Amino acid sequence: NAGVMQNPRHLVRRRGQEARLRCSPMKGHSHVYWYRQLPEEGLKFMVYLQKENIIDESGMPKERFSAEFPKEGPSILRIQQVVRGDSAAYFCASSPGTSGSRYEQYFGPGTRLTVT
Amino acid sequence: QQQVKQSPQSLIVQKGGISIINCAYENTAFDYFPWYQQFPGKGPALLIAIRPDVSEKKEGRFTISFNKSAKQFSLHIMDSQPGDSATYFCAASMDSSYKLIFGSGTRLLVRP
């Protein structure tokens, strides 16, 4: 059973460009979460999605950031007009979303974004 | 109220020793407390988790102790091994919101 997959693993963007980060959840998982980790810090929640729905985006910056989880295909975290402060590791997690195990979130390997 | 405070920031233990990492929280609505292990360049891996209706949970060399009245929980790693050297994060979440609130992490080094 493949784990959570994220690509690309490393992404370099110049200031002002767009960054697209992809996440394929574990097989059978319908809930996706995005977290951001700055160097030497813990993970900060950004957004929680189910298929075609954003459930909680309370951790997302109001501007330039958006996320989607379409009916078909991976979840996408999109950062427009990137700035140096966006440089971080972005992790996707998925969970089954079923009673009893809905809390268990399994993380992907992350995408390390560097903005030059 | 949404914070989870973790200590120590770093920890050095001799091989075979016990590693203890502590976390504290304020929000009594939290009802799920997992621990994650993260190696450099990797994503966090779920180690063990506990709900507040039990005071202790053990899986292999890893034990979570939970003190509901003190709003504290801790991770004990028995017979620590060099391969356990990693960063450990505690976290918490509540039923109304599945998002995980993470502690700041503890960097564990187990000396051979």
B57 contacts in A (CB within 8 Å)?
Answer: none
To probe the interface with B, which of A37, A38, A41, A43 has the most B CB atoms within 10 Å?
Answer: A43
pLDDT given at position B90: 97
Inspect the interface and report whether the beta carbons of B89 and A42 lie closer than 8 Å.
Answer: yes
The first and second tokens of residue B63, run together, are 């034990």
Instruction: Write the residue in A33, A95, A107 that is nearest to B43 by C-beta.
Output: A107
CB pairs under 8 A between A and B: 61
- A99-102 contact pairs (CB < 8 A, 24+): A102/A31, A102/B98
- Tens of pLDDT, residue by residue over A54-111, are 999 999 998 999 999 999 999 999 999 999 999 999 999 999 875 566 678 999 999 9
**Sign of the C-alpha dihedral computed for residues A75, B100, A28 and A98 taken in this order:** negative
B65 forms beta bridges with: B56, B74
Task: Kindly state the greatest CA–CA separation across chain A.
Answer: 44
The better pLDDT of the pair B1, B61 is held by: B61
Residue-averaged pLDDT of chain A: 92
**Residue B111 pLDDT exceeds 60:** yes
Exposed/middle/buried for A39, CB within 10 Å: 0-12, 13-18, 19+?
exposed
pLDDT given at position B2: 74
Inspect the interface and report whether the beta carbons of A48 and B99 lie closer than 8 Å.
Answer: yes
B49 contacts in A (CB within 8 Å)?
Answer: 103-104
A41 contacts in B (CB within 8 Å)?
Answer: 104-105
